Every structure is written in C-alpha cells, then in structure tokens.
A and B are shown apart, each in its own frame.
Chain A
Amino acid sequence: MDPLHDDLLAGVRDVSPLMLGIVPFALVAGIAAVDAGLGLAEAVGLSVIVFAGASQLAALDLIGSGAPLAVVVGTAVVINLRMVMYSASIAPHFARYARGVRAGLAYFLTDQAYALSVAEFGASDDRSRALYYLGAAVSLWIVWQIGTVAGVVVGAGVPDAWGLTFAVPLVFLALLVPAMKDRPTTAAGVTGGAVAVVAAGLPLNLGLLVGAVTGIVVGLLTEGRSR
C-alpha cells in the first residue's frame, strides 16, 4: 500500500479505542447545549469553532446558569490555556511544513491528538508527521461533530428528572483523577475544588475562576516547598 496512506491509516487506527470515551463526551456536549438553551446551530457552531470539550462544557454550564458572558469567555479561555503547552511540545515535529499547512494542523490540536502523536513520533522516525496526526485528529473532529448533533437530538427528548447533565461533571471527574498524579497536582486539584465549593455563591459565577486560580497558585507553592 501507498506509504502515505499507511501513515494516515495508522493515525485513524490508533485513535479508534479512544472513541469509547469521546462518543459519550460529545453526546454530553450536545445534551448540555440543549440544557443551556442553545439551538442546534449554536451547539454545532460551538463544537466546530471552539472544538475543545472541557471548555465547551464549562461555557455551557455558565451560560445555563446565567453568568455574564465575560465570565463565560474568561473561564473557557483559562481551561484552554493548556493548548499552549501542547503547541510548544508538538511544534518541532511540524517545523518542516509550510506556514499555511501548520496553520491548518493547529486547528485540530486536542488533548488526545497531541498525546497520541507525540508518543508515535517519539517511537518512529519514518512516520509522516502531518498524515499520522491528521489521521487521529480529523477522526476525532468528525466523531465530535456527529456526537454533538446526536446529543442535541437526544437531549431534547429526555425528561429533566433523569439528570442527564450530571454526565458533565462525571466526564470532568474522569479527566481530573489522572491529572492529579503527584503531590503538587493533587494539592492544586483539592484546593481548586474546595475553594470553588465555598465560593459557589460569589456574584457573576466567579467561583469557578477563583477556585481554579487558587488551585494553580497552591500547586506552584506546593511544588516550591517540596524541592
């Protein structure tokens, strides 16, 4: 087979087990959009333009509770700051491509595409960087969009008592647990969460932002102390 297709297909193949987690996550993004009062066009617009699940869910949560949009934007932006880290880490692999190609590759950058690609690039020098990455990243994109639409359709038909939006914090919980991998990250998480609970009554729904920033500071302080 054409080696170029091999690289693309390898990306598609390696990302497929992750879809088990992505599908419910995308469904929840659609359900949460309906719950926050968004229409289908807005829900799909969010998934296409932002294309970053955790920030989408946080934004929808805040929109649904009537937060000012400056708080919605500020919170989502803080959540997506981590993309800078991924961008820096994967950049050397993409340096060989033209500027326009790099601009296109960047749009598809997600936690999963980043993690898979960097692992593969470390293990194999022959792999086409762009094709492998696109195989994984575009697959994720397609499943994310279809899942969002399905979630909007499903979410509109389920009674509120079922509490389907409870799946939103459950998704975050599944991402949170592995993110607390040592003492400083655990301190950041526990403090961020506890402060957010206590600050939940703050005006403008600022509790989330205050909790997150406090957690980050405590993480840095814990790290400084243990060195």
Chain B
Amino acid sequence: MTGGGFALVEGALTRGVLGQWQDVFGGSSDVWAAIVVIGVATYGFRLSFIHLFGRIDEVPQSVKRTLRYVPPAVLAALVFPDFVTLESSLIATLADERLIAGAVAGAVAWRTENVFATITVGMVALWLFRFVVFA
C-alpha cells in the first residue's frame, strides 16, 4: 500500500516516533504517517488566523472567494462516484440501487437539511431496492 509519491512523507515520519507507536499499537505505519500528516496540516489550518490575528487584519478577498467553493466541489466529487458508475449502457448506469437510493436521500436532504433523516431514508431505500425490488 506504499505509493511512490508517499516515500517522502514516509521517510520523514515513520522511522522515528511512528516506528515506536507501531510497536505499541500495531497496524500499518503508512496509515499512521498519513494520519499524523493530515492532522498536523489540519491543525495548522485551524490555528492559522487564530494565531496570526493582530498581524493580519483580513483574509485576502481572493482566498475567501476560492474557499467558498471548496465544500460544494469536494463534497460532490466525493458523493457522485458512490452513486453513479459509468456502465456500458445508459440503462445499466441508471438501474442501480445506489443511484436510486441516492436520489431519494438527495430529495430528503434538500427538504430537511437533516443528516440523520438523510442517512435513515437513504439506507432504507438501499435495502428496499437491494433485498426486495431487485432481488
């Protein structure tokens, strides 16, 4: 599971502290290295302006504009491929219980904006189509 581009991060991190962690907790040192790098970067984002405030008054407008599109673009890029996989024919692409359940859940999300309701209805729809309708 070691990718080529990862060698840099891995080299820097897994040999020292993480090697010892691995002895204590078990598991893959690759995964631990990824967790730590993501965690450090995320903490850096959280701390950034909370730390800097007083030196910088405002976030540059261009940064603010760009950040506004991060949530919709990233979330959609995460969601769509889980509901739709391109198949050889249009029928095969559309007749998939994940797409139907996703569409139903999407309608619930739009009406209620409620995470709990969306998960519940989506899962029930998935089971209904997987175990009853398409069974």
Contact = CB atoms under 8 A, between A and B. Distances in A.
Given A50-B42, A88-B49, A94-B53, A69 B1 contact: yes
**Interface footprint category on B:** 35 or more
Contacts, number: 311
Interface in B1-26: 1-6, 8-10, 25-26
A109 interface: yes
Interface stretch (A3-11, A119-127, A138-146, A165-173): A165-173
**Interface footprint category on A:** 35 or more
Nearest to B64: A85
A20 B43 CA distance: 26
A61 B119 CA distance: 17
Contact of B46 (A86, A170, A172): A86
Nearest to B127: A162
Contact of A70 (B3, B25, B71): B3
A175 interface: yes
A59 B50 contact: no
A70 B91 CA distance: 36
B11 to A, nearest CB: 12
Interface string A1-37: 0000000000000000000110111001000000000
Given A70-B5, A106-B47, 10 more contacts: A54-B74, A54-B78, A68-B4, A69-B30, A73-B9, A87-B47, A166-B123, A172-B79, A180-B76, A197-B81
Interface of B: 1-6, 8-10, 25-28, 30-39, 41-43, 45-54, 58-59, 63-86, 98, 101-102, 105-106, 109-110, 113-116, 118-119, 122-123, 126-127, 130
Interface of A: 20-21, 23-25, 28, 38-39, 41-42, 45-46, 49-52, 54-55, 57-59, 61, 63, 66-73, 76-88, 90-92, 94-95, 99, 102-103, 105-107, 109, 161-164, 166-180, 184-186, 188-198, 200, 204, 207-209, 211-216, 218-220, 223
